[in-house]
Amino acid sequence: MSILEFNRVEKEYRLGETRVRALRGVDLSVDKGEFIAVLGASGSGKTTLLNLAGAIDDPTGGAVLVNGQTVANLSDDAKAELRSRTIGYIFQTFNLVSVLTALENVMLALQIRGGRIADIRNEAARRLDEVGLADFMHHRPDKLSGGQRQRVAIARALVTNPLLVLADEPTANLDHETAQSIIDLMKELNEKDGVTFLFSTHDQRLISQVKRVVRIDDGKIVTEMKTAN
């Protein structure tokens, strides 16, 4: 069953009199357990695509379905619920809260839902351990390297046990070696727990790592290929 479906999706932004057609009839279907990359140049529509998949924004045409539900038909509360329970989002610039420690940043994603604080702390610590940050839990973001911050962001996205993780150029601000290790980590989590990953990149070198690549150009999907992985 598909966890994510785009049916002839259009997204037009209006800036005063100017219109930008960021997505022009995108069809895409992502099955549970997939590990898939959207490859495209800057301005091709990657962030727009991920924001629509993440129920952060609505399309101006066509339909986006997450786990069988048409996102645009959901109330604001139902969308918030979808974002906090079903989807994990990893931002290009990490978006960590600078005054909180790594542990507190990850705990925050669970605290939105409520529950016992001791359980929340344990679960957040377990996820940080899993991404290799056991010794850095009490560090604030400014005391972490770029790669470590991105690992915190991955732990935060995964701590709610989402079905679908969206990662917008998760390696763009990292050196090549660190980028490689972040991709390896996501792949491992995909293989171990069956979490579906959809990430965007403009780094051709990372493409060899994934099972399916979708190339987007000027708001249109131009090629889809299965790789040998």
The reply to whether 44 sits near Mg ion by the rule CB under 5 A is no
The reply to whether 190 sits near Mg ion by the rule CB under 5 A is no
CB of 166 to Mg ion, least distance (A): 12
Of the pair 47, 160, the CB lying nearest Mg ion is at: 47
Of the pair 72, 91, the CB lying nearest Mg ion is at: 91
d(CA 147, CA 141): 11
CB of 89 to Mg ion, least distance (A): 13
Q: Tell me which stretch binds Mg ion (CB under 5 A): 1-9, 42-50, 79-87, 116-124.
A: 42-50
| Contact residues: ligand ADP, CB under 6 A | 13, 15, 20, 22, 40, 42-48
Contacts of 146 (CB under 8 A, 6+ apart): 173, 174, 175, 178
The reply to whether 48 sits near Mg ion by the rule CB under 5 A is no
- Strands 61-66 and 2-15 turn out to be antiparallel
CB of 210 to ligand ADP, least distance (A): 17
Of the pair 42, 98, the CB lying nearest ligand ADP is at: 42
Nearest to 58 by CA among 15, 11, 96: 11
The reply to whether 150 sits near Mg ion by the rule CB under 5 A is no
Of the pair 47, 171, the CB lying nearest Mg ion is at: 47
Burial tier of 152 (Cβ tally within 10 Å: 0-12, 13-18, 19+): buried
Using the Cα atoms of residue 193, residue 198, residue 203 and residue 204 in order, give the sign of their dihedral: positive
Residues that bind Mg ion (CB under 5 A): 46-47
